Structure formats: C-alpha cells, structure tokens
Amino acid sequence: MKYQLELQNICKSYGSLKANEDITLGIKPASIHALLGENGAGKSTLVKIIYGSLQSNSGTMKWCDQDYKPNSPFEAREKGLAMVFQHFSLFESLTVAENIILGLDGVGLDSDYIEQITKYSKQYGLNVNAQQVVGDLSVGARQRVEIIRCLMQEPKLLIMDEPTSVLTPQEVSDLFITLRKLAENGCTILYISHKLEEVRQICHQATILRGGKLIQNCNPQEHSKRELAEMMIGKKLINLARSNIKIGEDVFSINNLSKKSEEMFGVDLHDICLTVKEGSIVGIAGVAGNGQDELMHLLIGEKKSPEGVLIFKGKDIGKLNSHQRRQLSMFFTPEERLGHGAVADMKLDENMLLSRPQKSEMTNYGVINWQQVEMLTQRVITDFDVQTQSSKMLAQSLSGGNLQKFMVGRELIQNPDLLIVAQPTWGVDAGSENHIHQSLITLAEQGSAILIISQDLDEVLTLCEQVHVITAGKLSPAVDMQDNGLEKLSQLMVGGKSND
C-alpha cells in the first residue's frame, strides 16, 4: 500500500462558489501530512469530504487501495478515520467519560470504558480525569479529551484541525510528543494548520491549498517560512518595520485593578497595573482564559470599574460606558467578530453605528444621518481593502479576515488617541494579517497609543515595544523588548518568575 488515503480530482461547489476544485493528493501511511492554506482556501471543505460530513460533487477517494465514499462520519469512523475539531465537539455540561462515549459507536453506558480511558491517557501522556465535567476543564485538557475520544477508536488516520490555536507553548510541545508517538505506532496524521513554523517542525509532507485549488505538494522542511507563506497567499508579503518610534506622554493607565468575576468559570483579576504612552504599542501576551476577556470587558466599559483605576488622559473613566469612552477618543476592537464587534445579521453600514463618536457626525440627537454613515463605510471598505460587494452586505457574509479588517478600520478612521484591540488577527488569513499589522504601526507612528491583547506571541513580538504577560488574572511588569526581552518573556509564559 503506497497511500493510506488517496484523493482523485475532488470537486465541491456551493452554487457558483468552488470550494474545492480538482484536488488530487496522496497521504502516506504513518506520516504526518500537513494541509496548509488560508481561511477560505478550502481546507475545511476537503476535510469534511474525507470525514463524510460532506459529499463531493465529483472525484473519487481510495482508502487502503479500496474505493472509499463515506456518507456520514459514522461510515468514516468505521473505516478507521477519526477527527479532532478546531472548535471542539465537546459537551460542556457532561463529564469527560460521557463525552468520550458519545463519540464511540456501539458503546453503551455500562461498558468498562473508564479503564480504557485511563489506559490511553497513560500510553500517550494525555492526562485527564474521566469523572470531571468538561465545562470545568482548561482548553488544553479539553483537547486531550478530544484526542482520547479519537484514539479509543484505534484510528488509522487522525485528522487534526488547527490543533494548536488555543494551546500554551508547553501544551503545544506536549501535543507534538503525542503526535510523534502516534505516527511511530503507525497512525497517519492529517494536520491542518496555517501556522507555518509548526508545520515545518512536525510534518513530513505538506499540501498547500489556495482558493479551492491545490497549489503545491512539498516537504515543508525544505522551504522557509516566508516561502510557504507566499505560496499560501499567492503574493509577496510586505516587510513590517517599526522605524521611528517616538514615545510621548502617558495616555492611559490602569492602577491596581482588581475585580472578582461574576461568571461561573470566570477569572478574577488581581492588582493589574499598566501604562500606555503616546506613540507606543504595548502588548499583553498570554494564553487564552487567563483573564483577557474579563479585562477587555472592563476596558471597553461593558462592565464598570472601581474608582480611580482606569485613567485616560488624566480622567477617571471607570464609570463610563463604551459610548462615553469613545467620545474621549478611546476606541476598541474586541476579539470576537460576530456577535460582539459586529452583528451577524446586520449590514455593514448598520454595523458602522456600533462605534459612533459625536465627531463622526453619523448621528445627531439620535437621528441617523445615513448619507454620512454610507460615506464612512465606503471609506473603511476602500482604505482597508475590505472585500465585499457593497456596504449593504450582511456582516456574516464576509470572511473572517475581511470582517476583521472592517472592524479594525471602523475604529481607525476615527483617529483614536488610544486603540485597545484584542486578538487583532485571530483566525485571519496571512494577507489580511499583514495589512492589519501595517495599519496599526501607521497609527502608532502618528502618535496614537495602542494596547494589544494577543495570544499570538509572534504578533506581539512583531508589533510591541513593551509586553506584559497575563497569567491567572495577574499581569507581569512590562518587559522591554529591545533589551533582550524575548528571553524574559518566554520565562514568564511558561510560568517562571520574572527577574525584576
């Protein structure tokens, strides 16, 4: 058997949109094979076809040299395929054991699955407690549950969809150990990602997709990160550089902010201190779920802060709501696009009105000036290269990258004195990422202050001259990036103590 799985001329289209066009590839047994591509390149569609959740319009597949045409994930699982989803397919109100049983066909509630779970978790170093409720678990632990669920089916091919996007560096290296062990034991792994460094580290083969078409099959170790990126986006990347950093007065400071979380699984914030100056970009790095969301709520003004804690240009803004804060030229881009920074079933021009400082003249005593709104929307669309048919398109019809550009652009055209942005490029394609980073740098060069909260260490390193790390609701002191910062930062990230 030359290939574990072979795809021949797979095509899938939705109306006029061709999600997959004539894709042919082979995956060797016991290899780790990467599927690389930007969002919308057709990776998910292809994987869904392989896993039986979708059926191709034409083309054939072979599994162990046999014809393979799954009509449902059940059939795929019967053959020995298993999949770990990007957005975990876990049930928060159920226990780990129940979650695992749900993914196993023909296993009832009475079988001795708990023993099995323990066996697999030992064998591959995947530490979980079978009786815990999934809602209480960390993201990394949830992923381990997913992997065990897959392994219990003793799969021959394990599909992993963007597995590292939510993991700490430590969790990532643990995962890689597990994946290598699996491959050694003869399990083939199809690894979907847009993180090039990882793919170069762990994968033997890579298939690059763009716009639904297969661009190239290659050995990722033989190409540089930049080369891979340019194959993915199909054009040259712009070099990012922060040339003239001119730091001025304090614009915004957080003084000893502590707040208990009101949510069931929320993180309490302890004694957070931070200052952002004119012309500077300050980053908050750290793994998701360490208090970033809670902090962002307070910064936006969706929840009120104690007195004297949030100071913007000498004024206590703790009690102001987000709209009042914007009047002072403080703007925000939250992490979640649909449902938070934008309303999915509203048009782009209507979404403009979420952020409407008086000076934008979009409203006058509450009466909307639609002409002005339209003009500003058009400006965002053109200035920030938002790919959309018109300003009347629903926000949900835009791709993640385009919507993100719209959301960042919406705030940037107001020339904010302070921009607070969370995960500016989360789930965004490389081209848009480049564009967004460039516009943030331009803003800082004009003298504005920027605070970035991001899990993406690369991003923080590229953009910020000062970085804090957030862990369990506590914020580290600022680390100056010019002064051998990376080393201190990595220590902080893995939980070590900072020297200062």
Partner 1 sequence: MDELAIQIILGISVASVPLIFAAIGELVVERSGVLNLGVEGMMIMGAIIGLVVQYHTGSGLLSVIAAMAAGMLMASIFAFLTQLFLTNHVATGLALTLFGLGVAAFIGKNYSDITVTRISALHIPWFSDLPVIGSLVFGYDPLFYLAILMVFLVWWFLFKTKRGLILRAIGDNHDAAHAIGHQVIRYRVLAILFGGGMAGIGGAYLSLVQVPMWVEGMSAGRGWIAIALVVFASWQPFKVIVGALIFGGISILQLHAQAFGVYIPAQYLSMLPYLMTIIVLVSLRIGSKSNTNRTMPNCLGKVFHSTS
Partner 2 sequence: MINIEQRTDSSAKMVILAPILALTLTAISTMIIFLWASLDVMNAFYVFYIEPLTGKYNLSELLVKAAPLMMIALGLSIGFRAGVWNIGAEGQYIIGAISGGAVGLYYYNVEATWLIPLMAFAAVLGGMGYAGIAAFLRTRFQVNEILVTLMLTYVAILFLSAMVFGPLRNPDGFNFPESRIFHDSATLPIIWQGTRAHIGFIIALLFAGVTWFITKKHMFGMQIKISGSAPRAARFAGFNENKTIWYTLLISGGLAGLAGLFEAAGPVGQLVPHLPVGYGFTAIIVAFLARLHPIGIVFTSLLIALTYMGGENAQITLQLPSSITSVFQGMLLFYFLACNVLIEHKVAFSFNWSK
Which residues make up the interface to partner 1 (CB under 8 A)?
52-53, 72-74, 77, 85, 87-94, 98, 101-103, 107-109, 262-264
Angle between helices 400-412 and 430-445 (to 10 degrees): 10
Choosing among partner 1, partner 2, none, which partner's interface includes residue 85 (Cβ < 5 to 8 Å by kind)? partner 1
366: contact with partner 2 by CB under 8 A: yes
| 8 Å CB contact between 443 and 412 | yes
Task: Classify residue 77 as left (phi > 0), alpha (psi -120 to 50) or beta.
Answer: alpha
Q: Which two tokens stand for residue 99?
A: 């979650």
Shortest Å distance, C-beta 99 to partner 1: 8
- 292 vs 144: CA distance, rounded Å: 23
Report the 10 Å Cβ neighbour count for 257: 21
71: contact with partner 2 by CB under 8 A: yes
Of the pair 98, 250, the CB lying nearest partner 1 is at: 98
Binding mask 281-320 for partner 2 (x = CB under 8 A): -------------------xxx------------------
Binding window for partner 2 (CB under 8 A); candidates: 118-126, 392-400, 429-437, 484-492: 392-400
Chain mean position to CA 151: 25
Q: Which of 215, 273, 393, 461 binds partner 2 (CB under 8 A)?
A: 393
Of the pair 40, 341, the CB lying nearest partner 2 is at: 341
Of the pair 138, 261, the CB lying nearest partner 1 is at: 261
* CA-to-CA separations, 5 to 51, 70, 153, in angstroms, rounded: 12, 13, 18
Q: Which two tokens stand for residue 52?
A: 């039986």
Applying the rule CB under 8 A, the residues between 141 and 180 that interact with partner 2 are none
40: contact with partner 2 by CB under 8 A: no
- Residue 329 dihedral angles phi and psi, to the nearest 5°: 75, 45
- 462 vs 466: CA distance, rounded Å: 11
Of the pair 93, 243, the CB lying nearest partner 1 is at: 93
Binding window for partner 2 (CB under 8 A); candidates: 191-199, 346-354, 466-474, 476-484: 346-354
61: contact with partner 2 by CB under 8 A: no
Give the pairing of strands 310-312 and 250-259: antiparallel
355: contact with partner 2 by CB under 8 A: yes
Q: Which two tokens stand for residue 241?
A: 């550089």
Shortest Å distance, C-beta 80 to partner 2: 21
Of the pair 159, 196, the CB lying nearest partner 1 is at: 159
Choosing among partner 1, partner 2, none, which partner's interface includes residue 74 (Cβ < 5 to 8 Å by kind)? partner 1
Of the pair 79, 313, the CB lying nearest partner 1 is at: 79
**DSSP-assigned beta bridge partners for residue 467:** 283, 479
- 442 vs 81: CA distance, rounded Å: 47
Applying the rule CB under 8 A, the residues between 254 and 273 that interact with partner 2 are none
Choosing among partner 2, partner 1, none, which partner's interface includes residue 438 (Cβ < 5 to 8 Å by kind)? none
358: contact with partner 2 by CB under 8 A: no
- 136 vs 378: CA distance, rounded Å: 44
Of the pair 326, 488, the CB lying nearest partner 2 is at: 326
Apex 297 CA angle, 292 and 298, nearest 5: 100
- 168 vs 288: CA distance, rounded Å: 8
Q: Give, as one character, the DSSP assignment of residue 265.
A: T
| Contacting residues toward partner 2, per CB under 8 A | 14-15, 71, 300-302, 321-326, 332, 334, 336, 338-347, 350, 353-356, 363, 366-368, 370, 392-394, 397
